[in-house]
């Protein structure tokens, strides 16, 4: 091999390998310290694009899960209110049956309680809401025209679930309750028929709420499982395998030491050439 004083090819070659190994070693240390193997586009543009896409889907699913839970909460509020109304209707029915009996001639107490129950049913209908202030959503006064839960991470029709049908008008008049005073056995009989019809209507509303609750709970399970799977896929693409990277780090450290030693030896070549001149 030729020896030159001005150009040390062996040293240049050793320097190039040393720089390459050191650069790879720095990347390995960065990956282990961050836990991420895709820290920049140069680490794998295609893999980084896929990881970002998976992250967007996962985060969208997480938000959708929160949306669905909010929808379930809204339905639970409406359901609890209707259960109270159902109790009021059952009490109205008891009063009507009792007052329809011809042995009852004084209806003062019965009529007063009927009026109170009517007022309570109206108060529940007008006061059941989700939220407070100007942004509160009235759930049982018939004002909800559309209520579509964003239950997915996209814009497809299947990503929304419309639960507006669960929010019906349930004040006394809407339930067909018109006999709000009792002055005779005949009034009580009329009230009894109205209450039976109202109970039937209310059962339909409760069934609708129950169906919507089941639908949202099923979708919530699906969304949470999807988020979990997306997170696992994202981790495989984006996160560093510590065992593999640690082994690679050890290998690079050995190569760096070998390159440094080779560079040191290569730098001695010009001095050998000088000895030949002695």
Q: Is the pLDDT of residue 267 over 80?
A: no
Q: What angle do CA 173, 175, 177 make, to 5 degrees?
A: 55
Banded model confidence at residue 7, pLDDT cuts 50, 70, 90: low
Q: Which residue has the higher pLDDT, 260 or 182?
A: 182
Which secondary-structure segment (H or E) carries 271?
helix 269-277
CA–CA separation, 23 vs 21, rounded Å?
A: 5
CB 98 within 8 A of CB 104: yes
pLDDT score recorded for residue 38 = 76
- Tell me how far apart the alpha carbons of residues 204 and 239 are, in angstroms, rounded to a whole number: 51
Pairing assessment for the beta strands 129-130 and 137-138 based on DSSP bridges: antiparallel
Looking at per-residue pLDDT, the higher value among 10 and 106 belongs to: 106
Residue 278 pLDDT class (50, 70, 90 cuts): low
Can you give the pLDDT at residue 34? 79
* Per-residue confidence (pLDDT) for residue 133, from 0 to 100: 82
Distance of CA 50 to the CA centre of its chain: 22
- Tell me the C-alpha distance between 117 and 93, whole Å: 11
pTM of the model: 0.77
pLDDT tier, 182 (very low <50, low <70, confident <90, very high otherwise): very high
In DSSP terms, 137 is beta-bridged to: 130
Q: Are 249 and 11 in contact (CB under 8 A)?
A: no
CA distance 244 to 248: 6
User: What does the pLDDT look like over 127-178, one tens digit per residue?
Assistant: 999 988 888 999 999 999 899 999 998 888 889 999 999 999 999 999 999 9
Reported confidence tier of residue 10, pLDDT bands at 50, 70, 90? confident
Q: State residue 59's pLDDT score.
A: 94
Evaluate if residue 276 carries a pLDDT over 70: no
Q: Is 150 helix (H, G, I), strand (E, B) or coil?
A: strand
At residue 241, does pLDDT exceed 80? no
User: How does pLDDT run across 92-127, given as a tens digit for each residue?
Assistant: 999 999 999 999 999 999 999 999 999 999 999 999
Please check the confidence at residue 224 and state whether its pLDDT lies above 60. Answer: yes
Model pLDDT, residue 195:
97
Q: At residue 207, does pLDDT exceed 70?
A: yes
Q: How far apart are alpha carbons 216 and 196 in whole angstroms?
A: 31
Q: Convert the pLDDT of each residue in 245-257 to its tens digit.
A: 788 888 888 888 8
* Mean pLDDT score of the chain: 88
Q: How far is CA 255 from CA 57, 97, 204, 251, 267, in A?
A: 41, 95, 76, 6, 18
Task: Provide the pairing of β-strand 148-150 with 137-138.
Answer: unpaired
**Low-confidence winner among 51-60, 222-231, 245-254 (lowest mean pLDDT):** 245-254
CB 160, CB 149: distance < 8 Å: yes
Q: What is the pLDDT of residue 273?
A: 60
Question: What's residue 250's pLDDT?
Answer: 87
Selection from 268, 240, 62 nearest residue 152 by Cα: 62
Sign of CA dihedral 61, 62, 64, 68: positive
Neighbours of 102 (CB within 10 A): 6
């Amino acid at each position: 091999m030729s020896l030159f004083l001005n150009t040390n090819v062996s040293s240049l070659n050793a320097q190039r390998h040393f720089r390459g190994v050191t650069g790879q070693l720095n990347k390995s240390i960065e990956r282990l310290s961050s836990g991420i193997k895709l820290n920049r586009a140069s680490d794998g543009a295609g893999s980084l694009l896929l990881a970002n896409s998976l992250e967007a889907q996962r985060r969208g699913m997480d938000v959708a899960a929160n949306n669905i839970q909010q929808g379930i909460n809204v339905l639970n509020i409406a359901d609890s209110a209707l259960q109270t109304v159902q109790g009021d209707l059952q009490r109205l029915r008891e009063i009507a049956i009792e007052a329809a009996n011809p042995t009852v001639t004084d209806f003062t107490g019965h009529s007063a309680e009927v009026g109170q129950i009517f007022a309570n049913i109206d108060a529940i209908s007008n006061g059941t809401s989700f939220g407070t202030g100007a942004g509160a959503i009235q759930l049982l006064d018939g004002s909800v025209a559309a209520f579509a839960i964003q239950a997915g991470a996209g814009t497809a029709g299947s990503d929304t679930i419309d639960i507006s049908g669960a929010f019906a008008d349930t004040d006394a008049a809407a339930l067909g309750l018109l006999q709000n005073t009792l002055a005779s056995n005949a009034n009580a009989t009329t009230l009894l028929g109205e209450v039976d019809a109202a109970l039937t209507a209310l059962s339909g509303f409760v069934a609708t709420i129950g169906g919507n609750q089941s639908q949202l709970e099923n979708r919530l399970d699906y969304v949470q499982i999807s988020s979990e799977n997306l997170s696992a896929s994202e981790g495989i693409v984006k996160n560093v395998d510590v065992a593999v990277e640690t082994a690679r780090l050890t290998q690079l450290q050995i190569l760096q030491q070998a390159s440094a030693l080779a560079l040191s030896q290569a730098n001695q070549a010009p001095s050998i050439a000088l000895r030949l001149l002695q």
